[in-house]
Amino acid sequence: MKVYFDNAATTPLHPVVIKEVSQLMASNFGNPSSSHQFGRQAKTLVEQSRKSISNHLNCAPNEIIFTAGGSEADNLILRNAVENLGVKHIITSVIEHHAVLHMIDVLKAECGINVSFVKLSEKGAIDLAHFENLLDDSSQKTLVSLMYINNEIANILPLKKVAELCKIHDTYFHSDTVQGIAHYGINLEDIPVDFIAASAHKFHGPKGVGFAFVRKNCGIKPLLIGGDQEHGARAGTENVHSIAGMALAFDLAIKNLEKDQAYVSHLKKYFIEKIKKTFPKVCFNGTSADLKSSSYVTLNVRFSKEIPMLLFKLDLKGVAVSGGSACQSGSSKGSHVLQAILTPAEAKKSSVRFSFSKFNTLEEVDYCLSVLKELV
């Protein structure tokens, strides 16, 4: 049996999306910037996709900017906040995605911005009291950048609470929502966040396409220069069929949200119960075992010892999982998230991130646990 439990890294394409994208690649090949009927047809598809996504988020279509994924969206937002909006101070955490942390490092070196890191609990939760103190003490134009759901330990940020605190303090708020946007409903009319980033391949859409949400009046200047596409916010011919595939995948996810939440939550709960019985000394990183304070998609398990080449051995048995962020899979540095919240001794123990989707089954959970029992 082959089991794919790495859906936080990427999800399999939805069969309906595969069919739609395949048809569009053959039938709708025009350049959206062309004035002839082939171009107009492509342009219409792009704008229909933009409207569909904005309707689900309760925002204006012109607040959606299509990108090549979440990392580009994060980069676009952060650089614009500093270079275009005059931000001099960024408040963030040490467990953000590297698309955020590395860009902040670049902006600090190039633009001399100040950076503050909010304190975390031993489970990786944001210390809201310290966060408020950082907001109170900031005398410069400030941007807060905190991810909605952590991609490794699945902690859920109280998004609306943080957004409201930022609004009270007249502070911009950016959230990388890549791990949560199609797994939980986000109402941008109700939540006063200024910027979010999303990526289609996290919700059964195509790879290489995503979007940034930029609140009206925030302004945006392009990272990529060479054309006036995306209302002047991003040069380059739009990836038409992938944008349409993303809009369809997002539509399917939102329309089936409650059913999918219930099904995947059951898988995760079943996995937790079974792995506790199989390995009584097992621990869970972050709040990932708490079904209320973590994403129902992801579970980060820490075994009681270091198990050499565990991920490789699981792969040989047909079980695909991750030791942390997939973006880190080729690195020997280990997880910066786990290093931030665990003691050095605990961080050395083998941790595995299991992440589920609606295409997984209880039989796959049982097989995975039987393989773990054999290897651990």
The CATH number of the domain holding residue 221 is: 3.40.640.10
Final residue of a domain: which of 226, 255, 284?
255
Residue among 181, 190, 195 at smallest CA distance from 64: 195
Q: Which two tokens stand for residue 190?
A: 């109700």
Residues 167 and 194 in one domain: yes
Specify the number of domains making up the chain.
2
Domain termination residue (choose one: 235, 255, 275): 255
* Exposed/middle/buried for residue 249 (C-beta within 10 Å: 0-12, 13-18, 19+): buried
> 116 to each of 60, 132, 215, 349, how far by Cα in Å?
32, 12, 24, 30
**251 and 264: one domain?**
no
Asked if 110 and 228 sit in the same domain, the reply is: yes
Q: Is 159 exposed, middle or buried (0-12, 13-18, 19+ CB in 10 A)?
A: buried
Structural domain including 161 reads: 15-255
- Do residues 31 and 174 share a domain? yes
**Domain co-membership, 263 together with 166:** no
For residue 123, give both structure tokens. Answer: 């489970």
Cβ–Cβ under 8 Å, residues 212 and 80: no
7 and 31 inside one domain: no
Q: H/E element holding 65? A: strand 64-67
Based on the fold, state whether residues 65 and 165 are members of the same structural domain: yes
Active-site annotation, residues: 327
Assess whether 208 and 118 both reside in one domain.
yes
Q: What is the DSSP letter of 222?
A: -
- Domain co-membership, 131 together with 180: yes
353 and 326 housed in the same domain: yes
Straight-line distance from the first to the last Cα atom of the chain, in angstroms, rounded to the nearest whole number: 19
Residue whose C-alpha is closest to residue 59's, from 192, 149, 153: 192
Residue closest to 293 by CA, chosen among 185, 127, 156, 175: 156
Q: Tell me which amino acid residue 224 is.
A: L
| Same domain membership, residue 283 and residue 145 | no
pLDDT, one tens digit for every residue, the chain (376 residues): 999 999 999 999 999 999 999 999 999 999 999 999 999 999 999 999 999 999 999 999 999 999 999 999 999 999 999 999 999 999 999 999 999 999 999 999 999 999 999 999 999 999 999 999 999 999 999 999 999 999 999 999 999 999 999 999 999 999 999 999 999 999 999 999 999 999 999 999 999 999 999 999 787 888 889 988 998 899 999 999 999 999 999 999 999 999 999 999 999 999 999 999 999 999 999 999 999 999 999 999 999 999 999 999 999 999 999 985 444 444 457 899 999 999 999 999 999 999 999 999 999 999 999 999 999 8
> Reduced to 3 states, what is the DSSP secondary structure of residue 4?
strand
Q: Cα dihedral sign for 265, 64, 160, 94?
A: positive
